[in-house]
Amino acid sequence: MNSLIDLLSKKTGLTLKTVTNILKLLEEGSTIPFIARYRKEMTGGATDEQLREFESIYGYSKKLLDRKEEVSRLIAERSELNSDLRTRLNNAQTLQEVEDIYRPFKEKKNTRASIAIAAGLEPLADLLERAQLELGEFTKRAESFVKGSITSREDAIKGAQDIVAERYSDDPKERDHWRRQILDYSSFEIKAAKGMSEEGLFAKLAGKSEKIASIPSHRYLAIMRGVSEKELSVKITLDMDRVENTIKNYRIPRSAKSSQTLLLASYLDGFKRLLFPSLEREVHAMIKEKSDIQAINTFGKNLSQLLGSPPVTKRAILGADPAYRTGCKLAVVDENGTYLDHAVIYPTPPQSDYEKSAKVVKQLCERYGINAVAIGNGTASRETQEFFARLNRDEGLNLAYTVVSEAGASVYSASKIAQEEYPQLDVTIRGAISIAQRLRDPMAALVKIDPKSLGVGQYQHDVDQKLLEKKLGDVTEDLVNRIGVDPNSASVSLLSYVAGVGAKVAKSIVEYREKSGAFKSKQELLKVKGLGAKAYEQCAGFFRIREGKSLLDNTGVHPESYEAANTLLKCYDLSMITKDQIPRIAQELGVGEATLSDIIAELRKPGFDPRESLPPIMFRSDLTDIKELREGSIVSGVVRNIADFGAFVDIGLKNDGLIHISQMSEKRISHPLEVLSVNQQLSAIRVVEVDVAKGKVGLSLRDIII
C-alpha cells in the first residue's frame, strides 16, 4: 500500500497525507461529489474534476503495480529475475514499459525462432550476434548444427537468423527507440480504398499525409472511420535507409567480421517482419486512445455546459415539436415544468393552415398565460419559426420564442421513463413536453435521456464505449450535485444522480413523497426505505428543500454542520465577516476554514442556483433569412455544438452556421472550448461566407465592429 501511495503522490503532485486521506475516504464509500464539497480540509480543496483525475490515476497505478508484481513472479519462475531486471521493473512508469521488459520472456509457440530454438540453434545464433567470425568460418561452423530437422547448413544459418531477428524485435531498448521514432517523425499515409466513393465524405482525406506527432484527434477518428467503412487505407511510413544506417552504426559490433552481413540481414528482417508491424499496431492503439480521450473530454465538457444551461423561470412555456404532414405538436408546461395541456396544429406545408393554427395558439395563450415558446430544431423548424414570427407581427401576441435542440426528444418520448410519466399521452406529445421542459430546466429534462442522443458529441460511436459511458456519468453526477436537487419535485432520473442515492433509492424517495407528502426537512430523508446513515451522509448536503422547517434545509450546508451554522447565524452578522476573521471563527465553531467559508456563502444566498448567474436564454420574435445575409453582416445566435475544429451556431436559419476555430479569437487557441461553450448566447457574430444553394453560412468572432 505504501508503494501505491508513493506512486500516487509522485504522479498527482499531492502530498502523501492528502493521498492517504483521499484513499481512505474512497475506501469508506465516499463519493467524489461529497469528498470535493464536504471534505476540503482533508483533500487540500481538490475539485471534483481533480478528484476524478486522481481516481483515474489511482486505477492505472494499481494496475501498474499489480502487473509489475505479476511479471516479476513470471520471470522468477523461469529463474531469470536478476537485480538489473528487478530495478528496471521497479523503475518502469508505464504498463507499456513493463510489457516491453517482459516480452523476451514470454513463451512463444510456433514462431520461426521457437522452431529454430527447439532444433538447438541458439548457440549458432549467439555466434552470429557476436559477429567475431569471418563469413566463411561462420558458414563452416553452421555445418555442425546439421541434424534432425536441420538438413543443411543453409537451414542452420536461416534458423540462427530467425532467432536473432526475434531477439532484436523483443529488445526493450530497440522497441522504445523505434516507437519514439515513429511517434515523433513518421506519418500516416492515407489512400483511397477500392470501395471509396469519389463524392463521399472520405474523398477529401484520400491522398493526404498526416504527421503522427501532430494529427488532430478528430481527423484520426475520421480517417479510421473511413478505414472501417472500407473507403480508406492507412499505413505508417518510415525511412528504411535511416533504419538500416541506425542499425549499422549502433547495433553491429565495431569489431565485427564479414559475418556482419548475415547479422545485418537478421536485424533488418526482425525490424521489417516483426518489430515494425508490432509497433504499427501499438502506435495506432496509442493514437486511438489519445483521440478517444480527447473526443470524450470534449463531449463531457459539452454535456456539462448543456445540462448547466440557465433555466427559464416564472414563465408558462409552449413546447412546439415541428413537422410537415403530421402537424406541429404543442405541449404546455407551467412555471414549474408541470404538463398542463396539448394540441396539434398544421401551419406548415402541405396544409399551411395559418388561421386555425393561430386560433389554437391564441386560445392556449389566453388559457395558460403562455409567454415563451420552445421550438424544436428538427424537420419544419424553419417554417414553424416563420409561423410564430407572423403571429407576433399579425396578431400582436408578442410571443418570445427560442429554438431548442430536439436531439433525443424522440428517444425520450418512446422510453420507459416517459411511459411512466405520461402513460395516457401519445409519444409525439411526450416529445413536445420534453422540448418545453428542456427550456424550463435543461438539467432536469435532459438527465432522462441517454447523453449519446443529445447531439453534443463527436465520433461518439467510434470511441471506447465504456470510457465514454463513465465520463458522461461522472460529468452528469458532478453537475447535478454542484447545482443541487429538490427532493419534492425531482424525477427518479434526476434523483438517481445525487451522491449516494442511485436508481433504487431514488424510486423510494418518489414513492415516499407520493405517500407521505412533501419532505419538510433533510432529516426526514432517513425515513425513506433503503436510505441509511451512509447514504444520508453522502446525499443530504446536495438536497434543497425549498419550504422546509429550517432555512438550512434550502442550502448546501451539510446537516453535520447545522450546529455550527446556527451558532454562526446567532452570534455574527454575516455581511460583516471578513476573510481575516475566518481562521478565528472556524476555530471557535470547531469547523475547518474551507468549510466555514462555504457555510457563509450558502447562508448569504439560501436556495441559490449557480445557473442563475449565467446569461439568460436569448429569445427571438422575428426571423433571419439567408437571402438577406451578406459577408460582413452582424447576427446573433446560440452555440449548439462544439467540435475540435469549430462550433456550430444557431442564427435562426434552417442549418447552423459554423465558426471555425481560426475565426474564434484574435489570439491563437488550441481548442474552441477555451472561448466558447454549448448554449452560449452570442450577441454579435460576423458573417464571412454565405452559400445560399447549400444553406451554409461561415461565421467569425474576429474583427467585430458594431
Per-residue model confidence as pLDDT tens digits over 580-627: 999 999 999 999 999 999 999 999 999 999 988 887 887 876 666 788
Q: Does one domain contain both 592 and 690? A: no
Low-confidence ranges of the chain (pLDDT < 50): 706
pLDDT at position 1 is: 65
Q: Does one domain contain both 138 and 287? A: yes
**Which residues have CB under 8 Å from 172's CB, separation 6+?**
88, 97, 100, 101, 103, 104
pLDDT at position 624 is: 67
The CATH number that applies at residue 391 is 3.30.420.140
pLDDT at position 622 is: 65
- Nearest CA to 53 out of 116, 11, 114 is that of 11
Q: Does one domain contain both 511 and 538? A: yes
149 in any annotated domain: yes
pLDDT at position 252 is: 94
pLDDT at position 652 is: 79
Q: pLDDT by residue (tens digit) across 280-290? A: 999 999 999 99
Q: Does one domain contain both 278 and 362? A: no
Domain span holding position 544: 492-613
pLDDT at position 200 is: 84
CB atoms inside a 10 Å sphere around CB 127: 17
**Which residues have CB under 8 Å from 399's CB, separation 6+?**
318, 361, 365, 370, 371, 372, 373, 388, 391, 392, 621
Q: Where are the beta strands (DSSP E) in 389-503?
A: 400-404
Number of separate domains in the chain = 5
Last residue of a domain, one of 482, 509, 540: 482
Q: Does one domain contain both 270 and 162? A: yes
Helices (H), 561-690: 562-571, 582-589, 593-604
- Nearest CA to 456 out of 680, 251, 244 is that of 680
**576: helix, coil or strand?**
helix
Cis peptide before 350 (omega within 30 of 0): yes
Three-state SS sequence of 521-543: CHHHHHHCCCCCHHHHHHHHHHE
Q: Does one domain contain both 325 and 460? A: yes
Last residue of a domain, one of 230, 263, 296: 296
Distances from the Cα of 317 to the Cαs of 433, 436, 547, 616, 704, in angstroms?
Answer: 10, 6, 24, 15, 34
Q: Does one domain contain both 406 and 545? A: no
C-alpha–C-alpha distance, residues 208 and 284, integer Å: 17
- Nearest CA to 192 out of 232, 139, 134 is that of 232
Three-state SS sequence of 104-130: HHCCCCCCHHHHHHHCCCHHHHHHHHH
The CATH number that applies at residue 652 is 2.40.50.140
The CATH number that applies at residue 49 is 1.10.10.650
C-alpha–C-alpha distance, residues 705 and 686, integer Å: 9
Q: Does one domain contain both 350 and 467? A: yes
- Residue 5's identity, in one-letter code, is I
C-alpha–C-alpha distance, residues 447 and 445, integer Å: 6
Q: Which helix (DSSP H) or strand (DSSP E) does residue 377 occupy?
A: none
Strands 400-404 and 370-376: parallel
Q: Does one domain contain both 579 and 669? A: no
pLDDT at position 189 is: 97
pLDDT at position 183 is: 97
Distances from the Cα of 596 to the Cαs of 49, 128, 556, 688, in angstroms?
Answer: 22, 74, 12, 51
Q: Does one domain contain both 41 and 77? A: yes
Distances from the Cα of 476 to the Cαs of 346, 470, 483, in angstroms?
Answer: 37, 10, 11
Classify residue 332 as left (phi > 0), alpha (psi -120 to 50) or beta.
beta
- Residue 615 CA, distance from chain mean position: 25
Q: Does one domain contain both 69 and 123? A: no
306 in any annotated domain: no
C-alpha–C-alpha distance, residues 538 and 589, integer Å: 22
The CATH number that applies at residue 512 is 1.10.150.310
